[in-house]
Structure 1
C-alpha cells in the first residue's frame, strides 16, 4: 500500500459509501419525477422510458471495463474520476433544455456510476482484506447505504418536488459528489493487478450485447415481439454475446476473466444478485404506478408510502454483518431469501381498493430480506477471488444486477401497460414469478454455497 497513516474504519466506509449512495439514489428518484418532466418537455412515454433507462444501460455496459481498470490503474484514481464525472453529469441533468439533452446527460451519469462503483468496493476490500470481520462489517455498511438510498429515492423525490421542481432531484447529487471527491484525497493508494493491457474488442462486443438486449426489452411492449427491430435486436445480442465469450477466452487481459466462473460460490451468488434486482426493480416500478394510478396517491404521499422500505434496509443490513461474523455468509443469505420470499408473497393481496395498512407487511419484509442477503452476497463474492481482482468481481456482480434490474422494469412494466386492472395484474404476476425464482435460487444456494465461515469469522476487529 503506501506509507500514509492508517485511516479509520468509519472514514473509509463513509467515503466509499457516498459513491454508492448517489448512484443508487438516481436509480429510483427519477421515477417519481416523470410526470413533471413530461409536462416540462412535452415528452412522450418512450422518451420518459429512455430518461430512466439510459442511465441503466450506460451503467451496465461500462461496469466490467471499469472493474478491470480499477484493478489495472488503481481503485482510488478510478473512484475519483467516476465521482467527478457523475457530479458534472448531474449539473447537466439539472440544466437540461429538452428530453434528448436530459437523456444524454443521464448516459454520462451512468458512465460515472459505472466507474466509481467497482472501484469503491475494491477500496473497501483492499483496506480490510487483512481482517475478515471488518470486511464483513464494511461491506454491510456500504450496501446498507446503497439500499437505504434506493429505497429513499421516491421519498426524497416527492419531498424535493413538493418544495421545488424536478431539477432539484439532480442538483441534490452535487454536494455529495464534492464531499466524496474531497474526502477521497486522503484515501490510500490501492494495489494494482500485474496484468497489462486493455481488452478493447471485448469492451466493444460487450457494449453491443447489453445495449441491443436492453434496448429490445425496453421497446418490446411498444413495437411487439414480431417487429423486425425487436426480433433482430435479440438475435444480434445473442450473436454478440457468443462473440464476446469467444474473445474473452482468448484475450490476454480480458474484461471478464472466465475463470471466475469456475467457483460455484461466485456463480450462485451472482445468480442471486440478478434475481433480487430483477424482482425488486421491476416490482417497485409497478408499485409506484399502483400507488398513484390505482390508489390515487399524490406524488408526495406515494413517496412517503415507501418509507418502510428505507427502515427495513437499515435494520437488516446492519444485522447481516453481525450474523456473518459468527456464522459466515450462507446463513444470512438463506434467512434473507426466506424473508424476501414471504414479502413478495404478501403482495398477492394488492387489489384496486387495498388499504395501505395491509400493504405494510410486504413493504417492510421485502427490504428486510434483501438487506439481510445482499451484504452477505457481496462479501461472499469478494471472498471468492484474490484481492487484486476484487474490482473485476464486483463489476461482474453489479453489471449482471443492473441488467437484470432493467429487465425486470421492462417485463413487469409491459404487464402494467393498460390501466388500473393491468397494473394490479402486473403486481400479482411479478409476485408469483419472484417467489418461484427465489425458491429455485434458494435450492441452489443450499446445494452449492459453502458457508465461508472461515472468511468472516474467528477474527476480531482491530478498532
Structure 2
C-alpha cells in the first residue's frame, strides 16, 4: 500500500478531510459542556439526564468504535469513513430538533454510531496514507488543528447558548459534513488492506456495549437509590461481568475486535493506560469547570467558553511542534511531562472557592488553565503517534479504534462515576451546611433532593426571601466543596497517566518502530 508525502496534493486532501470530520465530532463534546445549563433549562432536564446526554453518545462510540476501525481496515477506510460521516450528520440533525431530554438522548445514540465509524477512520487514513517518516508531524498537525476547533467549541457553544441558539451546536455539523463528503468522494483515493479478511466481531461488540451501558446506568442511579438497590449493585455487577465476558470473547475469537496480542507490546499497553487516566481526568475537569463557572461563579456561557482560549492557544502552538520532536527524540519525555503538568493544572483549579465572577478570572482560574493546557499540548500528538507507531500498518485502523474507544470509555467513567460521586459529595456537604439552619425535616429533605441537579439546584417553594438567600449560599458552598474534591481526583488521574509513561514507555522512537506488532 503506497504512502504519499505529507505535503503532496493527496496528503493535503487527506489531512483536510480528516481534520474537518474529526472536528465535527470533537466540537460537540466541548461545546456541550458549556451549553448544558441552557439545555437543562430549556428541556427541563435533571442532573442525571445531563450525564445521559453526554453518555448516550460516548457509550455507542466506545462500544462500536472498535468495529469501526476493523471495518475500515477490511472494507476500505474511505468508504467506512464516509458512511460514518453521513450517519453522524443524520444524528446531528435529529438532535437539533429534539424537544425533550429523552429525544435528545435517543438521537445522541445515532450520533454515536456515526462517530464510531468516522473517528477511527481519520487517524487510520493518516497513518496508512502518509509516509512513515512524516507521520508524527502529520498526526501533530491533525492534533493541533482538531484541537483548535475543538477548544473553540466552548466559545462557540457559549455564544450560541447565550443567544438561545444552543441547537445550532448540532446543526453546524450538517454543512461541514456535506463538504467533507464531497471532497472525500472527489479528491481522496480509497485505502484498503487487501490482506485483511477478518469477520466483524458482533459478539464482542454486544458484550462491551451492554457492559458499559449497565455500568453507567448503575453509577448514575446510585445517588437516587443507593448501592443496596438492585438498580445500583445489580446493574454495576452485571456490567462488570459482561466486561469480563468481553475479554473472554476476545481471547477465544478468531477475529477479535480488540486483538489481545496487541497488548503484548509494552508501548501499546502503556499508551492506552495513559490515555484512559489522562482523558478521564480531562473529561471530568472540563465538565465541572464549566458547571462551576456558569452555575455558581456567575459567568455567562460565552464567558465560560472564552476562558479556555489559553488552552486552545497552547494546543495550536505546541501540538505540532511536540509531534515533530517526538518523531526525532521519542515520545517518552513528553508523555511524562505532559500528563504530569495537566494533573498539576487540575490540582491548582481544585483550590478555587467562591469568586467575584469573571473579573477575578485572571487570578483564580487562569493559572490552573495555563498549566493544564500546556501539559495537554505536550501530550496529545506524541501520545497518538506512539499508539499508531507501535503497530504495523495493517493494524492501524484497529489500533486507532482501540485508543479512541479507551479515551471514550474514560469519558463514560468520568461522567458516570465522578458525576455520581459529585452528587453524593454535594449532598453530604449540603447536609453539613444546613444542619444548623432553622428548617423542618421535610424542608431539609426537599433541599437535599435538589442535589441531583448539581449547580442548577432550585430553592423549594414556600420559603421567605431570607431563607432562600441562606439556601442559595448553602447550595453554592456545597457545590464548591464537591467541585474541589472531584478536581483533586481528576488531578490524581493526570498524575497516574504520567506514571504509566514512566513504567511502560522506556524505548526511543526508533526502537519502538522495530518492536511493532
Normalized against structure 2, the TM-score is what?
0.83
Describe the shift of the 1:156–1:423 C-alpha distance in structure 2 as closer, same or farther (beyond 3 A). same
Matches within 5 A, 1:45-444: 45-128=47-130, 130-132=131-133, 134-185=134-185, 186-192=187-193, 193-353=195-355, 355-358=360-363, 359-417=365-423, 418=426, 419-444=475-500
Distance in 1 (CA, whole Å) between partners of 2:213 and 2:267 is 28
3-state secondary structure, aligned to 2:251: helix
Deviates more, 1:205-214 or 1:391-400: 205-214
Cα distance in 1 for residues equivalent to 2:380 and 2:3? 34
With 252-261 and 342-351 compared, the bigger mean Cα shift is at: 342-351
Query: For each residue in 1:156-194, what CA deviation from the matched residue of structure 2 results, as whole angstroms up to 9, or x when unmatched?
Result: 111123445121111111111111111112212213252
Residue number in structure 2 paired with 1:460: none
Change (3 A) 1:430 1:149: farther
Alignment partner of 1:447 is 2:500? no
Residue range with higher mean Cα deviation, 224-233 or 28-37 = 28-37
Residue 29 of structure 1 aligns to a residue whose secondary structure is helix
SS at match of 2:9: coil
Q: CA deviation at 1:318?
A: 2.1
Q: Deviations over 1:406-460 (max 9, x none)?
A: 2112333334433322332233223433343333443342232133422799xxx
State the shift of 1:148 in Å.
Answer: 2.8
Residue matched to 2:429 = none
Partners in 1 of 2:208 and 2:420 — Cα distance?
26
Stretches of structure 2 lacking an aligned partner (at least 5 in a row): 427-474
Are the aligned partners of 1:350 and 1:427 in contact in 2 as well (CA < 8 Å)? Answer: no
Distance 1:2 1:449 in 2: 30
List gaps (5 residues or longer) in structure 1: 458-463
For residues 354-382 of structure 1, what are the alpha-carbon distances to aligned partners after superposition, in whole Å with 9 as ceiling and x for unaligned? 72112211112212211211211111111
8 Å CA contact retained: 2:346, 2:490: yes
Q: Deviations over 1:9-51 (max 9, x none)?
A: 3322121111211111111212332333334333333333322
Summarize the Cα distance change of 1:435–1:40 in structure 2 as closer, same or farther, 3 Å threshold.
closer
Range that drifts further, 162-171 or 119-128: 162-171
Contact 2:337 2:498 (8 Å CA) reproduced: no
Any residues of structure 2 matched to 1:22-61 within 5 Å, and which? 22-61=24-63
Alignment partner of 1:17 is 2:19: yes
Q: Please, what TM-score do these two structures have when normalized by structure 1?
A: 0.92
Structure 1 residues 335 and 411 mapped into 2: Cα distance closer, same or farther (>3 Å)?
same
RMSD of equivalent CA atoms: 2.3
Deviations 1:379-405 (CA, angstroms, capped at 9, x unpaired) = 111111111111111111111111111
- The 1-side partners of 2:4 and 2:406 are apart by 35
Aligned residues: 455
Counterpart Cα distance in 2 of 1:413 and 1:420: 17
Cα distance in 2 between the residues matched to 1:415 and 1:315: 35
Could you tell me whether the CA contact under 8 Å between 1:268 and 1:449 is conserved in 2? yes
Q: Quote the offset at 1:61 in angstroms.
A: 1.4
Match of 2:457 in 1: none
